[in-house]
Structure 1
Amino acid sequence: MFTVVMAQAALAEPAPLTEADFASVDKDQAALGQLLFYDKILSGNRNISCATCHHPKFGTSDGWSLGIGEGGVGLGPDRNAGQDHSRIEKRVPRNAPALWNLGARDVHTLMHDGRVSIADTYENGFNTPAEEWLPNGLNSLLAAQALFPLTSEAEMAGGSHENEVSGAVNDRIDKGWPIVAKRVRAIPEYGRRFVEAFDHIDAPEQVTIVDVANALAAFQALEFRSFDSPFDLYLGGAVDALDASQERGLDLFYGKAGCASCHSGPLLSDQQFHALGLPPFGPGRTRRFDLIARDVGRMGESDRLEDAYRFRTPMLRNVALTAPYGHNGAYQDLADMIRHHLDPEGMFDRWTPAKAKLPDAPWLHQVDYVIWQDRAEIARQRRNVAASGPPLSEAEIADLTAFLHALTGTSLDRPMFGVPEKVPSGLPVD
């Protein structure tokens, strides 16, 4: 959500977001990527797809505070933690982020902690967890990001003892990708479509994980563009696109509330990292040497103490559709998320688990809130909390909430591709 600063002069409204702000995408590759996005063949146990946690029915998220990945059953708010030997072994440590406008040219950093970014740190164009083992040929940041859910035990790979993909990943992060690529190209329809969509591929045997990732990125970049909300129409000159409450909320967003100091520019994000002091819970995203169920945010990537508990500013198009909010989904309600920005210390102290939304998994309850028993860690997190924002009335909070609803696209029910009825693997489609 958005960081609030002390009352200040009005910030400039951005230029409208247009087609020119997005890189060109091959539609045949995107059509292929659509099938891959909804196909569970990409997961280690063939039981979860990209769409399972990023479904358009739920704003390209999943409706939960923390994702239910490998081992879960069902879709969206109806998804459960599974049972018996196939149930989830741990929760996904962070909220499933929405995918809107990630194909924009100006996007340079992805993931809550920014661990996938455009950089030449390892002389392959990107700074990622794969470091120098990231394969060459990825044509966008979105393609680089698409590789990493495939390597996550909790998300798509499965346990190291369960399948050949997760076993290979356990050896080294890049070892599972060739196995996934071989699975895909061995399916005749996929092999044929890759040959048709990519000029450099003459035979199915040439398909690599890079081609899979580039196709996935092409689909997401086209399918999940959204810049026709009432706010976008207003920026384009339709002065009557917002109702009275939304106009007041816009004035607060770019004025007194200071939201646009971080949610800036056409994408409504500075792509930087801020410590909001969201109440912690869940397994945390620990570093390899960290034995505490905590999430240190950007510091886990940068190793800089000043980055402790900082998380990337999200973009806000369609934010009303993607509850719960925050890197860990600490709040189910937009107004509560606004209140947290206004009074982070007070909201931290008043927060209860009822504010979050977790699927019932009794075998994980002991871990879910264990962090609150560590008084030293809670004290550290409270010391890294953003300054309080300006005092706003409940009426002003309601107006800000109304403005955030005005960021919802008006044509989301008319996607370019939609959900396929079937996929080449023959596996069920969520």
Structure 2
Amino acid sequence: MAQPITAEDFIAFDADQARIGQLLFYDKILSGNKNISCGTCHHHDLGGTDGLSLGIGEGGVGLGPERLPGDGPDAIRKRIPRNAPALWNLGHTDVRVMFHDGRLEPSEIYGNGFDSPAEEWLPVGLDSLLAAQAVFPMTSQAEMAGNIGENEVVGAIADRIDLGWPILAKRVRTIPEYGEMFVAAFDHIERPEEVTIVEIANALAAFIGTEWANYDSPYDDFLLHGTPLPDAAERGRQLFFGKANCAQCHNGPLFTDQDFHAVALPAFGPGRTRKWDPIPRDVGRMGATDDLEDAYRFRTPSLRNVTLTAPYGHNGAYAHLRDMVRHMADPLTARADWTLAQAALPDVPWLTEIDLVIQSDALEMDRQAAFLDVRPVALSDAEVEDIVAFLESLTGKTALERPLGTPETVPSGLPVD
């Protein structure tokens, strides 16, 4: 049985900093071409995600399933390689790893508090793992930075990962409203000129860590007060912690062991290619560690509010929760039967050819299927539905009533998605 969550389990973020973070989260000023914000892919209206298997990032137009891939020189060049991760409860003190492949975690290996893709170039002063995470989407061409030659931010990042952050920080601090807010909210900032990417990231973390904290689900009532779950959810709970063996990985207060497991999800999309590995595949944790033992293993996601964060899997292979449950019960059978129609992948005609190209590589498909950490279990359709009912009981009663929500406007004056 998972442990209950209380307010004391969360990092104590500053409310004034969170208010700045809310505005920055939805302000496109932090993207290279000023055309996408954090909120575009992690929107309040979509449970903190974008509702897509693989997102349409920089260059796209619109929001969520209705987002268009752009046209002409602004058209996207590839899909985002991975599903937009959920934001729920990332301010919990138990959170110790970020991203699907865990490439960000606390460490003193580089002298700045974190083992990250920025290595020694990550600035000192980031207050939390959540703050360190916030700076990396800004460095991704497909997500927020834009393509080489389009703006000075991506050009600087191409030289070295940290060189774009000062440009973005100057954009923000030279907007009078932001400058005044930072001076008021950060004790060590006396003038707007002192604001760096560190304060920006800490503000974003304060917002994400407080805005998406939620633990008032029917299951929490069951844990804290003994309030019975509905019959189907109770049967599902017993399956989850018993026969179905879900709790082997989905355990603890956040329903995740924060470890990495190979579950043989169907492969599609551009893959997360590496400098010396241009094959359109995603090797998961191995991409961060270069250890063959980590091949095709991905971080166990939290299941709190999971009903609000479809599609599912590191690449969003399944648009429906019951299909993901079926896959976890019998990964190789589900993988063999999977079709692209089970995902939520907007049509982008010039990318269609690449969407399934990896499946024509028979050797790669065999390798992915061979790495499997899940032991199959036979579940009836009724048992699958009961497990889904239990997962629905992990949805907070106030999950869609966030403290700050989406701002109507932002200080840059740029449009808010």
Q: Which amino acid aligns with 1:377?
A: E
Alpha-carbon displacement from aligned partner over 1:39-71 (angstroms, at most 9, x marks no partner) = 000000000000000012111010100011001
Match of 2:278?
A: 291
Query: Counterparts of 1:336 and 1:38 in 2: how far apart (Å)?
Result: 32
Residue pairs, 1:370-409, within 5 angstroms: 370-409=357-396
1:24 aligns with 2:29: no
1:389 CA drift (Å):
2.5
Q: Is the contact made by 2:47 and 2:400 (CA closer than 8 Å) also made in structure 1?
A: no
Query: Counterparts of 2:342 and 2:17 in 1: how far apart (Å)?
Result: 41
Q: Which amino acid aligns with 2:399?
A: L
Q: Which amino acid aligns with 2:212?
A: F
1:388 CA drift (Å):
3.3
Query: Counterparts of 2:226 and 2:200 in 1: how far apart (Å)?
Result: 41
The normalised TM-score by structure 2 is: 0.99
Query: Counterparts of 1:336 and 1:420 in 2: how far apart (Å)?
Result: 35
Q: Is the contact made by 1:344 and 1:386 (CA closer than 8 Å) also made in structure 2?
A: no
1:331 CA drift (Å):
0.6
Which piece of structure 1 moves more, 387-396 or 62-71? 387-396
Match of 1:347?
A: 334
Alpha-carbon displacement from aligned partner over 1:306-354 (angstroms, at most 9, x marks no partner) = 1000000000111111111000000111111111111111111111111
Match of 2:347?
A: 360
1:249 CA drift (Å):
0.6
Match of 1:7?
A: none
Query: Counterparts of 1:358 and 1:333 in 2: how far apart (Å)?
Result: 13
Query: Counterparts of 1:83 and 1:235 in 2: how far apart (Å)?
Result: 51
Query: Counterparts of 1:253 and 1:105 in 2: how far apart (Å)?
Result: 25
1:363 CA drift (Å):
0.7
Query: Counterparts of 1:15 and 1:114 in 2: how far apart (Å)?
Result: 23
Match of 2:182?
A: 194
Q: Which amino acid aligns with 1:375?
A: A
Partner residue of 1:333 out of 320, 327, 344: 320
Match of 2:252?
A: 265
Partner residue of 1:94 out of 75, 82, 95: 82
Query: Counterparts of 1:186 and 1:100 in 2: how far apart (Å)?
Result: 32
Q: Is the contact made by 2:100 and 2:314 (CA closer than 8 Å) also made in structure 1?
A: yes
1:206 aligns with 2:194: yes
SS of 2:105's equivalent in the other structure is strand
Partner residue of 2:49 out of 49, 52, 61: 61
1:178 aligns with 2:148: no
Query: Counterparts of 1:395 and 1:258 in 2: how far apart (Å)?
Result: 17
The normalised TM-score by structure 1 is: 0.96
Q: Which amino acid aligns with 2:166?
A: P
Alpha-carbon displacement from aligned partner over 1:358-388 (angstroms, at most 9, x marks no partner) = 1111111111111011111111111112343
Match of 1:161?
A: 149
SS of 1:366's equivalent in the other structure is helix
Alpha-carbon displacement from aligned partner over 1:79-110 (angstroms, at most 9, x marks no partner) = 11111111111110000011000011110101
Match of 1:148?
A: 136
Query: Counterparts of 2:40 and 2:219 in 1: how far apart (Å)?
Result: 29
Query: Counterparts of 2:225 and 2:380 in 1: how far apart (Å)?
Result: 30
Structure 1: gaps (5+ residues) = 1-12
4+ residue segments displaced more than 3 Å: none
Could you say what the CA RMSD is over the residues aligned between the two structures, in angstroms?
0.8
1:279 CA drift (Å):
0.6
Q: Is the contact made by 2:178 and 2:411 (CA closer than 8 Å) also made in structure 1?
A: yes
1:303 aligns with 2:293: no
SS of 2:232's equivalent in the other structure is helix
Task: Report the count of equivalent residues.
Answer: 417
Q: Which amino acid aligns with 1:166?
A: V
Percentage of pairs with the same residue: 62
1:232 CA drift (Å):
1.1
Query: Counterparts of 1:171 and 1:19 in 2: how far apart (Å)?
Result: 42
